[in-house]
């Protein structure tokens, strides 16, 4: 099972990662970071296939995928 690490302070809630995830394991949280942005979080880690689409599309390099 893959693990997605999201650097919440770098996330600006663009939702590109949520849209690009083929297994829909990511969602935008209702929590905010110190900059006032809602950030992405992995809500179904057991469904993650480690494809790295989220990390590749993130414009802020706020995502790292561990396989």
Q: Cα-flanking dihedrals φ and ψ of residue 53, to 5°?
A: -60, -40
Kindly report, residue by residue over 11-62, the tens digit of the pLDDT.
999 999 999 999 999 999 999 999 999 999 999 999 999 999 999 999 999 9
Answer CATH for 3-66 from 3.30.70.20, 3.40.630.40, 3.40.309.10, 3.90.1580.10: 3.30.70.20
Q: Quote the pTM value.
A: 0.91
């Amino acid at each position: 099972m893959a693990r997605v690490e999201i650097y919440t302070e770098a996330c600006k809630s663009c939702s590109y990662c949520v849209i690009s995830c083929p297994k829909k394991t990511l969602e935008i949280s209702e929590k905010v970071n110190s900059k006032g942005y809602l950030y992405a979080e992995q809500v179904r880690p057991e469904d993650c296939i480690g494809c790295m689409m989220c990390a590749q599309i993130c414009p802020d390099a706020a995502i790292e995928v561990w396989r």
